[in-house]
Chain A
Amino acid sequence: MVVPPSSVSYAQSLAGAPETRLTALDNGLRVASEETGHATCTVGLWIGAGSRYESEKNNGAGFFLEHMAFKGTKKHPQTALEQEVESMGAHLSAYTSREHTAYYMKTLAKDLPKAVELLSEVVQHCSLNEADVEQQRAVVLRELEEVEGNLQEVCLDLLHATAFQGTPLSYSVLGPSSNARTLSRQDLVEYLGSHYKAPRMVLSAAGGVNHEELVGLAKTHFSGLSFEYEGDAIPVLSPCRFTGSEIRMRDDAMPLAHVAIAVEGARVGSPDIVPLMVANSIIGSYDIKSGGGKNMSSRLAAMAAEENFCESFQAFHSSYSDTGLMGMYFVTDMHHIEDMMHWSQNAWSVMNMCTTVTDSDVARGKKSLKASLVAQLNGTTPICDDIGRHVLNYGRRVPLAEWDARINAVTPKMVRDVCSKYIYDKCPAVAAVGPVEQLPDYNRTRASMYWLRF
């Protein structure tokens, strides 16, 4: 059988992508969906709540609540809930991040009504038994132990803790172990009551879903969702101060050092996001297990491969509603930390903003960014997640065509100017875990953020 070559070009496929429809209910709940024609669908609730909304006393409540979510609702005790989900052959999952929480279910398209019903119960009528709370406490503690083994998580958590010290963005999603031991059912109920409000929630779906049907289901199940706050105390997010600082968790017994360095980046709605994303694509990422070796297109990656500077590195940009963290994360052994830090800063703060970013670098970065944006949306779940997060962040879904247009508009001069604005001579935040004796002193790192030449 011969497969005919695709007769649809990239531009055509972007233009022909299904539209994301968005409706709002009376209580403020937004319903968004994309009908992709798949036989399966992912539907979920994206909530604008996370560790950033917590306080020092209840840091970790969101995470705890996520654990409690699937322990049964008022109508369906735990076993009944599990049975319902299993009998549909569905997957029920959740995640909590600093600014978002999501509960979603992956199921067959025809099971959409049941899925929405179950989700509505999980979010609105979680039973929160005392016994379950105690049992989950042990699970949360164990998970805290386990996450210590995931050094990437540890390093990036420490980065946030130091970069945004004194502000709610410094809190880790997991919360400290003392809170895990003392959070009570009452705390969880309070957290639910103050943050799970309709205007901050999005019911998002992608797959073989019909938007009108979804809106009808939302009206049926989510009309009762509260939109009023007790005492009219609407939680307002205040800006979070970024502090250039450093934290080191030195342990010479570990085999590899994990180091992250970041400057304050762009907020979610900023027009600078796209040039910064292009800049990060130019630097790219590298893993010693990947096959590119010294022929990788990113100069830093090629150098890392040839000189064996690191096990892996990646450039990252985490955006929040009013601030961001843009940086580099690398894993290396104890003898190459200084080299890797030097060359990372060189690539980052120098190649991309002194007059050395070339047209071909930017063209390459743009292409690879477009490719990765498209490649990420490879299933109903990533699409549903994209929709949910976009509606929470921007108030609408940003279509791929728009990303494409914005990426096309990026020029080398734009990359240089934007990167200079965020990186040049700014105080970075540095977090390091492992055998980090060789990591240069913070003053040296700070001094490498500019060149004494014009």
Chain B
Amino acid sequence: MMSIAARRSAIGTCLQFTKPTVNASVFSRLVKDFVPAASANGKVPHLISRVNHIIRPVRDPLLSSQFYFRSEFTGATGIRLAHTDIKVPDFSDYRRPEVQDPNKSSQDSSEARKVFSYLVTGATTVVTVYAAKTVVSQFVSSMSASADVLALSKIEVKLADIPEGRNMTFKWRGKPLFVRHRTEKEIATEEGVNLGELRDPQHDKDRVQNPKWVIVLGVCTHLGCVPIANAGDYGGYYCPCHGSHYDASGRIRKGPAPLNLEVPFYEFVDEDTVVVG
């Protein structure tokens, strides 16, 4: 509700609307015409215009001798400007150079502008997809084995520490790893074994890279116990759980085990070092 109080004598100049509208101009003229009539006969009719704009006389209690005209807007004050007053803003700051000039048709450049937009969009899409794929793979691969676990997958053995004829046991991948430094006699024995007598026939040279060193997993192929080195009837290993005898090449000779001791992947990094795994 807007209220404007005005003195009767100065009504024409005082009724200033901040937003001159079509309605207002009509209105102010009507008011100018209206005023003399009021003074002439003292009767003050109501003036109601389109937007429920009511002028009614109010007797001000402080200045009882004066009439004031009070103008009120009641109800919805939908003063609408003419639609032709709506100015489309100037978007020159945002326009591409080809369409800055309002006196040039935009059709000529439309193909070029579209191609540019689509190229940029396409390139951005490709880059974004690649980036998204990278991020997702990074998160997913974080669920795989960590570096310290992966590091455990290989073991480096210093062969100089193992005297001849002795077997050393290492923990590797949670299992015992036997590294045996064989004597010449043992090598010759193993190489001469007839394959026909073997439960799991494998020639010695198929089980070792360098005949001096036998590297096998110390897990009995029967039910998984750890065989004892330098024990048993064949100069190799003896599994105490159920009595499996292995020879110096790790092959099963006697007892319940079905297969030879497993030979893992290994490679000799140099004369003195072997990396298993």
Contact = CB atoms under 8 A, between A and B. Distances in A.
Contact of B103 (A157, A161, A162, A238): A238
B99 A243 contact: yes
Tell me if B's interface is mostly helix, strand, loop or mixed: loop
A176 B110 contact: no
Interface residues of A, number: 40
Tell me if A's interface is mostly helix, strand, loop or mixed: loop
Contacts of A427: 110
Contacts of A213: none
Contacts of A145: 22-23, 82
A299 B101 CA distance: 40
B86 interface: yes
B148 interface: no
B151 interface: no
Interface string A245-278: 1010100010000000000100000000000000
A167 B26 CA distance: 31
Given A239-B105, A241-B104, A264-B107, A249 B83 contact: yes
A148 B82 contact: yes
A144 B110 contact: no
A246 to B, nearest CB: 10
Interface size class for chain B? 20 to 34
B88 interface: yes
B114 interface: yes
Interface in B74-109: 76, 78, 80-86, 88, 90-92, 99, 101-107
Interface string B215-235: 000000000000000000000
A249 B84 contact: no
A141 B81 CA distance: 11
B94 to A, nearest CB: 11
A243 B90 CA distance: 12
Interface of B: 21-23, 25-26, 76, 78, 80-86, 88, 90-92, 99, 101-107, 110, 114
The 3 A-B residue pairs whose C-beta atoms are closest, nearest first, are A238-B103, A166-B102, A165-B88
Given A172-B84, A247-B88, 15 more contacts: A60-B84, A144-B22, A145-B23, A157-B83, A166-B102, A170-B88, A172-B83, A174-B82, A177-B84, A239-B104, A241-B105, A253-B76, A322-B105, A425-B114, A427-B110
13 contacts: A144-B84, A161-B88, A167-B103, A172-B84, A176-B84, A177-B22, A241-B99, A241-B105, A242-B107, A243-B91, A243-B106, A245-B88, A264-B106
